[in-house]
Amino acid sequence: MKKYRYIISVSLILLLVFSFQAAAQNNFFQNEDEHNNLRFGNEYIVIVVNQNQNSQGRFAVETTGGAPARENDDNKPLIYGRPNPWTSYTSLWINDQKYVFGGLTERRAGDGARYGEVIQEPTVEDNKIVTKTRFDNIVVEQILSIVKSSTTGLADSAQIQYRVTNEGQQEDKVGLRIMLDTMLGENDGAPFRLGEDTISTDKLYYDKQLDDFWQAFDSVSNPQVTSQGSFIGPDVSTPDRVYFSDWGSLADGVWDFDFNPGQDFMRKGEYEIDSAMAMYWVPEILEPGQTKTYITKYGLGGITIVPGILSLGVTSPAEVTLDDNNQTFPVVAYLENTSEINARNVSIQIDLPDGFNAEQVSRDLGDMEPGDISQITWNVEAEDRNNLPESMTYRVIVDADNTDSNEVERKVEFLGPPQLDANITLMEEVESIDGRLEPNPFRIQAEINNSGETSLYGVEAELILPPGLVTASSEISKKNVGILRNNEKININWAIEALRVDGTLPFALKVSGLNNYQKTIVEEINLPALKPLILLRETRGQRDEDYFAVDIVAANIAEAENIAFDLNYDSEKLLLTHISRGDFFVGDNNLLPFNRPDRSERGKVIFDQEFPFNKANGVIATVHFKLKEDEPGNISINNFEAVNGPGDSFEIEIRNILEEEN
């Protein structure tokens, strides 16, 4: 970007042209060009992704038709990338090591760095270009799509999203850097404009110093291209710090780089102005199975311009949601003296309708020399955020002692926040069979509905379970949803396992989104009752030509302190050989106390057994017989008695599967 301005007076230009909006929202195209780039775009912009092995996955952004009311911004680069994107790249900080996303490069930007393995080449999926790279246990998805600009209200911005997932078994520490080699048509050195700052030298901003968006253009009166990036908003992740610097320094440093505050954007090692910027999200712990999403936007910016001796351009979000997280919205005014004389005692003010206010609505700017550009920012707030109109219109007015006044009028629409609710149901019938739940694990489904006026971005849904319910093996409790658009419903499934619980069980669904959005929805599921049960069943795999074995199985008897009963069998048909303890009396690879049953009386085995504390399910004992005849005859439990810790009797159902099968 070169450090000069074009000073041209033109007739009224309105960049905010809402009449074109509906026609272009979903009018997407995709193709491959002669340089093997994958292109996905609409009538405003196109995202270009490099498919070659050299720098695979790197991207650029260009205009197609550009702003509807401007004819001189067609087919212009917003991010350098001709013939193949390579100058912009994204870096990962993983456990103190620095990596570059995508394929290896033979060019300066990221040369010699560490790289992962591209496991999905650039692919168009559901109107997004998706590329995936694996760095050992960390899988990173680059997801590029076209969304609305906050200031134009048109689908003329690229959403740049990275989803980082820890697929390993241990926590990892991960950070992200996105470096963009910005460009305005043929201009590779126009200054960045953030709030009231004009940035043409190396400068660092921390998250608390950032404004909602930054813009870049070469002239207020007649900008060739106006670009815009977003730092704060409902659809972006605010970076922890942002560097504006020269491209060469950022290209050479994969994470840390040669940063010199106050130095102009002269490309390192060369003699051309070449600006770029990098957004950093500091490393954070990523637990096994956890996913973190980073989102930013870059594309066209909307400025309402009225030319004149004092050319005035004003920008602000086209649509605003005011809530606890976003209590104000910015209005930025750009003022340029296009004349050949000094403009004396210049003043500017914002005229707000009733119910809205801002600090310092009037500003004295002093004298402005020919070619000077000033920029002023107001943060506008509503006196009653709970009673907003559908829209409001404000004016910005500029005056000077020796020039004509000028003014711009601009409209802002107000939208309500996302409104989420959920309906959670069992996906299959769960029954109590032989003292246990079937199926177990079982599946539940959450239908989440956004009935609000705005979309929720970076959505994650986390299932919070009560004691006794756990997620099934290989299942994760927190799932990434992405975008939940207004008036959209989505279904999310989980596999859940019950551990000795039944009845009505409460649990919570926690839905979170960008900018600290959180909502917890409490629901209940009903599981059939699990009654205490002892049953007799043939031991599978134990019967052969001469032998027969019976398991005495207990379920849901954690309350039991002592159980006594007689096991009766037909001694004419069966010869008792031996009795072995069941897994009820094995714990942590140790044998637990087991009272040997009394087998002194033919046709009867007497059990009188104390049970381990808080153990509910298992085999009490296996009784082994030798067959005297072809069939074993009747086997049954009699004289049953069970007592709990305080010594009180309680009921346990007795089932004999042997009889049921016969």
| Residue pLDDT, tens place only, 240-282 | 999 999 999 999 999 999 999 999 999 998 888 899 999 999 9
Chain center to CA of 594: 53
Question: Omega into 467 within 30° of 0, i.e. cis?
Answer: no
Residue 16 above 50 pLDDT?
A: no
Best CA proximity match to 525, nearest among 638, 406, 437: 437
CA dist., res. 229 & res. 247, Å (int): 17
Within 303-427, strands assigned E span 304-306, 310-315, 319-320, 328-337, 343-351, 356-357, 362-368, 373-382, 391-400, 403-414, 420-426
Instruction: Give the contacts of 128 (CB within 8 A, at least 6 positions apart).
Output: 143, 144, 145
Instruction: Determine if the pTM surpasses 0.85.
Output: no
Highest mean pLDDT among 112-126, 216-230, 410-424, 451-465: 112-126
Is the predicted pLDDT of residue 621 greater than 70, yes or no? yes
pLDDT at 594 over 80: yes
Which amino acid appears at position 411 of this protein? K
Which has the minimum average pLDDT: 7-21, 176-190, 576-590? Answer: 7-21
pLDDT average, residue stretch 148-168: 95
pLDDT of 344 reads 97
Taking only the tens place, the pLDDT of each residue in 459-468 is 999 999 999 8
Surface-to-core class of residue 471, CB atoms within 10 Å of its CB (0-12 exposed, 13-18 middle, 19+ buried): middle
Q: What is the mean pLDDT of residues 182-198?
A: 84
- The Cα 127–Cα 130 span in angstroms is 10
Res. 542: pLDDT tops 60? no
Element (H, E) at 559: none
State the chain's mean pLDDT as an integer. 90
Q: What is the pLDDT of residue 15?
A: 33
What is the pLDDT, as a whole number, of residue 480? 84
Q: Which two tokens stand for residue 527?
A: 């599981």
Distance between terminal CA atoms of the chain? 89
CA atoms within 13 A on the CB side of 95: 10
HSE of 580, CA atoms in CB hemisphere, 13 A: 12
How would residue 71 be classed by pLDDT, with cut points 50, 70 and 90?
confident
| pLDDT of 24 over the 70 cut | no
SS3 labels along 104-156: CCCCCCCCCCEECEEEEEEEEECCEEEEEEEECCEEEEEEEEEECCCCCCCCC
Q: Which residue has the tokens 């929202």?
A: 25
**592 pLDDT higher than 60:** yes
d(CA 515, CA 386): 19
Residue 229 tokens, joined: 């990036």
Output the pLDDT for position 661.
61
Q: If DSSP states are collapsed to H, E and C, what string results for 201-249?
A: ECEEEEHHHCCCEEEECCCCCCCCCCEEEECCCCCCCCCCEEEEEEHHH
Phi-psi region for residue 231, left (φ > 0), alpha (ψ -120 to 50) or beta? alpha
Q: Which of 69-73, 345-349, 451-455, 554-558 has the highest mean pLDDT?
A: 345-349
Indicate the SS3 state at residue 319. Answer: strand
Q: Are 623 and 567 in contact (CB under 8 A)?
A: yes
* Residue written as token pair 């140790």: 590
Q: What is the pLDDT of residues 285-309, one digit of tens each?
A: 999 988 899 999 999 999 999 999 9
Domains of the chain in sequence order: 29-300 (2.70.98), 305-414 (2.60.40.10), 420-527 (2.60.40.10), 533-655 (2.60.40.680)
pLDDT of residue 543: 56
What is the pLDDT at residue 185? Answer: 63
* Mean pLDDT value of segment 483-497: 93
Amino acid 220: pLDDT: 83
Q: What is the pLDDT of residues 412-439, one digit of tens each?
A: 999 999 999 988 889 999 998 888 899 9
Q: Residue 26 — very low, low, confident or very high, per pLDDT cuts 50/70/90?
A: low
Cis peptide before 441 (omega within 30 of 0): yes
- Does pLDDT of 356 surpass 60? yes
- The type of residue at 290 is Q
pLDDT band at 662 (very low <50, low <70, confident <90, very high): low
- pLDDT score for 10: 30
CA distances from 406 to 35, 83, 397, 437, 643 (A): 48, 43, 6, 76, 92
Tokens of 489: 């419903």
Structure tokens, 123: 């692919």
Residue bearing tokens 């680059």: 142
Mean pLDDT of 228-237: 94
**CA atoms of 474 and 116, how far apart (whole Å):** 25
Question: Structure tokens of 278?
Answer: 């990098």
Least confident of 94-103, 172-181, 285-294, 328-337: 285-294
